[in-house]
Structure 1
Amino acid sequence: MLNQGLRVVLLALVYALSVHASSCPPRCECSEAAQTVKCVSKDLQNIPTGIPGYTKNLFITGNQIDRIGPESFRGLENVTTLSLSNNRIFEVESHTFSSLRNLRSLDMSSNQLTLIHPEAFTVQSRVLRELNLSRALYNHSSVTDLTTALRWSTLGGLQVLDLSSNSLIYLPPRIFSHLGSLRRLQLANNSLVAIYNDTFTGLEHLEELDLTLNALKTFQEEGLRELEHLPRTQLLLGENPYTCTCGIESFATWLNGSQSRVGDMEHVVCAFPADLRNTSLLTVGELALGCHRAGEGDNLALQTSYVFLGIVLGFVGLMFLFVLYLNRKGIKKRIYDMRDACREVWEGYHYRYEIDSDPRLSQVSTSADI
């Protein structure tokens, strides 16, 4: 009886193992104990079907998947962590992740997102906390799609957004305005040249903003105002090509008053000109740049130019008057001659008028001519 009972138990175990094994999609690895499914570098063309319902951690990475839609993740309500990195995904349809009611972390890094539908990131439960889109945007037009998707989608609970390494040149106004719970925003290793008005509108709870390794040469007044709208945010501003000329004075002054907010102040240094390279912007001011002295010099030169021009014009005027004085007799004679000529012409016109107006004089003039 003991052997028969043991045999039954073994058969049950084998059956359970076979059921679990058969429930794992082909070319994937499944662990019920860890509630994890991995489909890594298997040249998959689509999201595999038959993923076990117990799955909480789903890793489908390094494949050849080009699009995902609402049908891709049906029946996976328990998934909390989803990684789709490095899959060459170019299209994300609306409501793709709507069935993932417990999704907290979504990694779509290292893809080629070209077409992002307006409600691509709509999640019904609004529990998504982390969204990784680093190295994911294929071109600059996808930034516009992303802006629309962030505004239309239900990401009010999102706390971490990674947009690093996307070659971003600019950020559309109010792109993050619907992400009121965001705590960390990573924009490192892009090509941002400036921060404009309304760039960070709506991020009252932001705790960390990473702007390292961009193309920032300075922060203009509107950019500084945007940073002032984030009073509780730790800023990372280093490793940018700051150009330490007179235009950077306002930024240098702001830095000196905001040192506690910049977490990598040692890397906020001049890149140009060469004689100030690696000089901390904290030490770059009016004395180092000589901006005010240069301005005073320019004003002095301008004033000197005006004085010199006045002297030249005055001298020309004096010379003109002197020439007139030397030729006063000739000029007087010319004036008299012009007066006499004008008088003769006038008398001729007057005489002609009298003849034309009197018929008798006209007849005499005609007979005289004969």
Structure 2
Amino acid sequence: MKEWEEKLLFILIMGLFTGGSVSFNCPSSCICAADLLSCVRQNLHQVPKALPSTSVTLDLSHNNLSHLHNNWLSGLPRLNTLRLSHNRIRRLPLQAFYNVTELRHLDLSSNLLEGIGEEWFQSLFNLEELLLYNNRIVYVHDNAFSHLGKIQKIYLSWNFLTSFSFQSLQNLSNPYLRTLDLSSNRFLELPVEEVSSLPAFIKNGLYLHRNPLTCHCALYALFTHWEHRGFSSVVDYFEQHTCLYMGKPRAIVRILQDQNGFDNCSPGKWQRLPENGLRVIVGKSLMITCNTSLPQENTTFVWISPTYEFLIFPGNNNQSFKIHPNGSLEIREAQPWNSGIYLCIAVNRLNYNTTHEVNVTVHYPKHEGESFNTGLTTLLGCVVSLVLVFVYLYMTPCNCFFCCSKSLQTPSPPQESSAQSSILCGTPPATDGTNSRKTGINRHVVFLEPIKEGRGEKKAKIIKLRSDSDSASSVFSDSPIVPT
């Protein structure tokens, strides 16, 4: 076949794939080299209309582009790399990247983007790298990256972000994400629980340095834990992980170097990180992620249960445990005997291996009656006991003066009840007379001997205690009390 015939055949084949229209014209302001189209630094205010359909790489960086049209890339079915950095793009139309299924690298850095919408990247199923750094982004929709099935790197540094939905990363339909750069933004607080629950391969590339975070013990525990595990996001930027002591802009503390500001952060006071333990109700299912920094592709996962049962893909014989392709272990209909330490061992084809432990607790659901605070119950019991003690000490069953006067002046027949009444009385009433003394000086204590049957008498020993300035004497008298 001759050379011109080969070219003609190539044109016909390309026409079939592109709907009959094949363009080999190179825009006057651009440079075409094989499958590359470069329009760098041409002061373009709009995209050239005639773009060669054979382009695999399109570079429109360093221009003055302010907006893009819907379906403007529909004539580039082979496009793999698109560079739009250093322009003036503020927002994107909903179908700016519609039907560009082969795109793998998209560079939108150094523009004027203010937010990331939900529909912008939903058709980029094969996108692997997304550059959004150095914009004015203040928000990212929770589902902005949910359709990126093969995304590996997302760069969002040098923006104005104050929050990010880390929980949305759990719902990504791919296991390939290795880099999420959120450094140099405006995060004041970090949801430690959400971040801690992320898989280790994401945390290994989750960059959070150079943010005005407020210092607290949970943040200190998070980053020191990452340092202990050797995560690249912390090790590579060891000195740049800082926080503001008491939220003051000038009180900068290096989290991994300075102990000032974390004096009260003893290990007992650290917030418990979710990856240290998981809880599940009896009868419910639980998914445990093997948080290792190894990539999930070409990696073999082995789990060891608390009963030292080795679990490999797809699970055990009775299907109470199931291992998913990404290495996660699912406990089906958890039972109390499933509680304990689960160990994950990940080994890839390069013979690198890591381990990860998870403490699982299976508990019964709480009933409504159990919500009452037991501490309050204990306190109430103590109060009731004290009230009863005061009642016993201070509330006597009869008037003391009346009992004593009745017992001493008008003795009643020797009955057990009369004796008990006398015992309750410690001080007789004051009597009139010359030899009488004040009740504040004379104190009488009455002791009654046991009642003797057959005799109508009882004897009382009256001990009279007299206090004066010179001496104290005791006078004992033993006189019978004859009943009337």
Is TM-score (shorter-chain normalized) higher than 0.5? Answer: yes
Of residues 113, 131, 151, the one that matches 2:106 is 131
Tell me the residue number matched to 2:399: none
Amino acid in structure 2 at the alignment position of 1:192: L
Query: Structure 2 vs 1, CA of residues 232 and 277 (structure 1 numbering), >3 Å: closer, same or farther?
Result: closer
* Aligned-partner Cα distance in 2 for 1:187–1:78: 31
* Aligned-partner Cα distance in 2 for 1:292–1:232: 22
* Aligned-partner Cα distance in 1 for 2:27–2:265: 69
Displacement of 1:191 in angstroms is: 2.1
**Does the 8 Å CA contact 2:238/2:256 hold for their aligned counterparts?**
no
**Does the 8 Å CA contact 1:191/1:214 hold for their aligned counterparts?**
yes
**Does the 8 Å CA contact 2:158/2:184 hold for their aligned counterparts?**
yes
Tell me the residue number matched to 1:101: 77
Amino acid in structure 1 at the alignment position of 2:236: D
Displacement of 1:96 in angstroms is: 0.9
Query: Structure 2 vs 1, CA of residues 292 and 251 (structure 1 numbering), >3 Å: closer, same or farther?
Result: closer
* Aligned-partner Cα distance in 2 for 1:255–1:165: 27
Query: Structure 2 vs 1, CA of residues 204 and 113 (structure 1 numbering), >3 Å: closer, same or farther?
Result: same
Tell me the residue number matched to 1:163: 132
Query: Structure 2 vs 1, CA of residues 87 and 231 (structure 1 numbering), >3 Å: closer, same or farther?
Result: closer
Structure 2 residue 180 is matched with structure 1 residue 209: yes
CA deviation string 1:144-202 (max 9, x = no partner): 3xx32212x3x111111001011222321021001110111111111222332444341
Under a length normalisation based on structure 2, what TM-score does the superposition of the two structures give? 0.43
Query: Structure 2 vs 1, CA of residues 26 and 160 (structure 1 numbering), >3 Å: closer, same or farther?
Result: closer
Amino acid in structure 1 at the alignment position of 2:242: C
2:130 is paired with a residue whose SS is: strand
Task: For structure 2, list consecutive stretches of 5 or more residues without a partner in the other structure.
Answer: 1-24, 270-484
> How many residues in Structure 1 have an aligned counterpart in Structure 2?
240
Of residues 61, 85, 108, the one that matches 2:40 is 61
Amino acid in structure 2 at the alignment position of 1:131: L
* Aligned-partner Cα distance in 2 for 1:221–1:245: 11
1:61 is paired with a residue whose SS is: coil
Under a length normalisation based on structure 1, what TM-score does the superposition of the two structures give? 0.55
Displacement of 1:100 in angstroms is: 0.8
CA deviation string 1:255-288 (max 9, x = no partner): 3554325252413432423897352337659962
1:135-214 matched pairs, under 5 angstroms: 135-140=110-115, 143-144=116-117, 147-151=118-122, 153=123, 155-200=124-169, 201-202=171-172, 203-214=174-185
Query: Structure 2 vs 1, CA of residues 284 and 170 (structure 1 numbering), >3 Å: closer, same or farther?
Result: farther
Amino acid in structure 2 at the alignment position of 1:85: S
Displacement of 1:211 in angstroms is: 2.0
Query: Structure 2 vs 1, CA of residues 91 and 280 (structure 1 numbering), >3 Å: closer, same or farther?
Result: same
Larger Cα-atom Rg: 2
Query: Structure 2 vs 1, CA of residues 99 and 159 (structure 1 numbering), >3 Å: closer, same or farther?
Result: same
1:288 is paired with a residue whose SS is: coil
RMSD of aligned residue pairs (Cα, Å): 3.5
* Aligned-partner Cα distance in 1 for 2:73–2:192: 40
1:209 is paired with a residue whose SS is: strand
**Does the 8 Å CA contact 1:73/1:96 hold for their aligned counterparts?**
no
Tell me the residue number matched to 2:49: 72
Amino acid in structure 1 at the alignment position of 2:241: V
Tell me the residue number matched to 2:88: 112
**Does the 8 Å CA contact 2:152/2:179 hold for their aligned counterparts?**
yes
Tell me the residue number matched to 1:47: none
2:37 is paired with a residue whose SS is: strand
Amino acid in structure 2 at the alignment position of 1:80: V
Displacement of 1:80 in angstroms is: 0.9
Amino acid in structure 1 at the alignment position of 2:104: R
**Does the 8 Å CA contact 1:164/1:187 hold for their aligned counterparts?**
yes
Tell me the residue number matched to 1:82: 58
* Aligned-partner Cα distance in 2 for 1:214–1:232: 18
Task: For structure 1, list consecutive stretches of 5 or more residues without a partner in the other structure.
Answer: 1-22, 37-54, 295-370
* Aligned-partner Cα distance in 1 for 2:157–2:168: 15
* Aligned-partner Cα distance in 1 for 2:238–2:189: 16
Displacement of 1:73 in angstroms is: 4.2
